[in-house]
Structure 1
Amino acid sequence: MTIEYKNTHEFSEQDLKDLFLSVEWSSGHFPDKLIIAMKNFKTVISAWDGEKLVGMICAMDDSIMNAYVHYLLVRPEYQGKSIGRELVERVKVIYKDYLRVVVVAYNEELAFYEHCGFKKADDASPMFITSLWT
């Protein structure tokens, strides 16, 4: 298995739908919106096994100080093969001169992100609101 990493904002709806639904993310039900989102992210790095989209990381930034990792996902059958770690490392290189790279992680993901060099904030908690129509 050879994984190719690409910096691209162009994806098919089917590729995005398949990837997002493979990890049971509800965003996969809206591939038309994901197409637009991918074009609007500042940084999108994807992982491919041949023609198959197997992972991606997306980040937004303020162009000088703070970057925010919004998506990091890897198909379940490709997890444990260092693809997620490689995607994170590539984002860290892009944002190496920024003061902060922020990621919101679920509890079961903390060990992975800590392994990638992130530290859990003791004085902060993630908050969000989800539209009722999704």
Structure 2
Amino acid sequence: MSITYKDTHDFSEQDLKDLFLSVEWSSGHFPDKLVVAMKNFKTVISAWDGGKLIGMICAMDDGIMNAYVHYLLVRPEYQGQSIGKVLVDKVHEKYKDYLRIVVVAYNEELAFYEHCGFKKADDASPMFITSLWT
């Protein structure tokens, strides 16, 4: 297995649908919207096994101080092979001169992000609002 990493914003609906649904993310049911979203992100780095999209990380930024990791996902059968860590490292490198890189993570994800160099702020709690798509 030879994993390659690409800095691209162009994906097929099927590639995105397959990746997002592989990790049971509901946004995978809207691949047409995901195609547009990928074009609008400032940073999209993807991982490929041949022609198969197996992971990606997406970030937004303000151009100078703050970057926000919005998506980080790796197909379950490829997890545990450092692909997620490589994707995070590539974002760290891109934003190395920024003051901070922010990620909102669920409790069960904290150990992974700490392994990647993130530190949970003692005085902050992640908050987000989602709407339910029908």
TM-score range, shorter chain: over 0.9
TM-score by length of 1: 0.98
Match of 2:86 in 1: 86
Match of 1:124 in 2: 124
Q: Distance in 1 between matches of 2:9 and 2:66?
A: 21
Residue 16 of structure 2 aligns with an amino acid whose one-letter code is: L
Task: Calculate the aligned-residue CA RMSD, in Å.
Answer: 0.7
Deviation digits for residues 15-41 of structure 1 (CA, Å, limit 9, x no counterpart): 000000000001101101100100000
Instruction: Map residues 1-134 of structure 1 onto 2, 5 A cutoff.
Output: 1-134=1-134
Q: Percent identity?
A: 87
Q: Distance in 1 between matches of 2:132 and 2:52?
A: 32
Residue 3 of structure 1 aligns with an amino acid whose one-letter code is: I
Q: Secondary structure at the match of 2:34?
A: helix
How big is the shift at 1:129? Answer: 1.3
Q: Secondary structure at the match of 1:88?
A: helix
Aligned residues: 134
How big is the shift at 1:53? Answer: 0.1
Deviation digits for residues 73-96 of structure 1 (CA, Å, limit 9, x no counterpart): 000000000000000000000000
Moved over 6 A (4+): none
Residue 26 of structure 2 aligns with an amino acid whose one-letter code is: S
Residue 59 of structure 1 aligns with an amino acid whose one-letter code is: A
Q: Which runs of 5+ in 1 are unaligned?
A: none
Q: Which moved more, 1:28-37 or 1:119-128?
A: 119-128
Q: Distance in 1 between matches of 2:91 and 2:132?
A: 32
